[in-house]
Amino acid sequence: MYAIKTAIAEPLDPRWDFTAQKTMYGGKRIAVGDGVYLFASENAGGAGLVACGVVTAAEAMPRAADVERQTPRVSLKVERSALAKRRLGRAELKPFAQWNDGQPQTELNFKLYRQATDKIVGLTAETAAFLSGFF
């Protein structure tokens, strides 16, 4: 399972296209058929967790030849499976800052909110199970 934090203009849309998204923490391995939790970036006026879905297309973006150090990027198409029933965003995850405590909330805070950048991240099975309780 994966999570993406990015600007989501229409959280109620049944499908989304995400172009050249940064990847971190194993996010570059996302592929067609993978499940993904969608977080509407609060930096872009979003509300955190809004939906979950399935990847229907994934394409790794080629690296630029003239850039020495760059983050891998992926373009995705995602079809919505469900809308979140409860809020989960930066405010709810901020108290979970003991980086090695093993809690799913801490993993989400670390991977999604420690840096402000939008990104696709890989999730542990425990964190994916925790997020499934929001649907």
Q: What are phi and psi of 65, to 5 degrees?
A: -65, -30
Structural domain 2-132, CATH architecture: Roll (3.10)
Q: What is the dihedral of CA 119, 120, 121, 127, to 10 degrees?
A: 110
pLDDT of residue 65: 78
One pLDDT digit (tens) per residue for the chain, 135 residues: 999 999 998 999 999 999 999 999 999 999 999 999 999 999 888 999 999 999 999 999 988 777 777 788 999 999 999 999 999 999 999 999 998 899 999 999 999 999 889 999 999 999 999 999 999
| pLDDT, tens only, 75-105 | 999 999 999 999 999 999 999 999 889 999 9
Q: pTM for the complete prediction?
A: 0.93
